[in-house]
Amino acid sequence: MKRCTKCGIEKVAGEFSKDKSKKDGLYSCCKACKKLYKEANKERYREQGKLYYEANKEQILEWHKLYREANKERYREHDKLYYEANKERKREQNKLYRESNKEQIRERKKLYNANDSRRRDERYIAARIKNGYTREEATILRGIYKSTKRGEQNRDTCDQLFMAGLL
Ligand SMILES: [Zn+2]
């Protein structure tokens, strides 16, 4: 039996957490008190955890990586089993989600496509600039390239080429 330093109640050893630094190998206050304390200081604990993470980020990430490496096979097996077991449920869920979020999904797709097209434009233009064209010329070339793709190659694009000194 051991008396808790917080609530003063005498309790059996099992009611105390283990603490190797203590003479009797037990935490000074009982589990119930410890839990209460933790609850009351949740915010502070979270803050501390965050600070600890920030200060030891590199090490923690490295450690996680090593752990994942060491347990790769186990993770893969687990993922596979999980996937198999939840395949049907997942499919059903996805279907429901798609059906009830049709509008949002369409909007998101549109936005994604617009961004994707912009990204491709930027890549194309950057490559042309690297080849010695000015940004303006590269932009015109991109426009022509796209109109060609759409089958809209016409007199305007020839004029543009001419004005850009590319024809
Ligand atoms: Zn206690």
Residue 100 phi, psi (nearest 5): -90, -5
CA of 25 to the centre of ligand 1 (A): 16
Q: Over the stretch 21-59, which tens digit does the pLDDT of each residue have?
A: 999 999 999 999 999 998 888 888 888 899 999 999 999
Residues with CB under 5 A from ligand 1 (ion): 4, 6-7, 30, 33
pLDDT at 95: 94
Question: How much distance in Å is there from the Cα of 4 to the middle of ligand 1?
Answer: 5
Find the 12 Cα to ligand 1 centroid distance in Å.
11
Give the Å distance between the CA of 38 and the centre of ligand 1. 13
C-alpha 50 – ligand 1 centre gap (Å): 28
The per-residue pLDDT for 4 is 95
Q: Give residue 11 CA to ligand 1 midpoint distance, Å.
A: 8
Q: What is the pLDDT of residues 142-161, one digit of tens each?
A: 888 887 777 665 656 666 66
How many whole angstroms from 107 Cα to the centroid of ligand 1? 56
Q: Are 120 and 145 in contact (CB under 8 A)?
A: no
For the chain, which residues make up each domain, given as ranges?
2-70, 102-163
The span from the CA of 46 to the CA of 146, in Å, is 53
Going from the Cα of 18 to the center of ligand 1, the distance in angstroms, rounded, reads 14
User: What is the predicted pLDDT for the residue at 11?
Assistant: 96
**Distance (Å) from CA 20 to ligand 1 centroid:** 19
Instruction: Go through the chain and tell me how many residues it has.
Output: 167
Residue 16 alpha carbon to ligand 1 centre in Å = 9
| pLDDT (tens digit per residue) in 101-136 | 999 999 999 999 989 989 999 999 999 999 898 998
> What would the DSSP string read from start to end of 137-167?
HHHHHHHHHHHHHTT---HHHHHHHHHTT--
* Per-residue pLDDT at 44: 87
Report how far ligand 1's centroid is from the alpha carbon of 32 (Å). 6
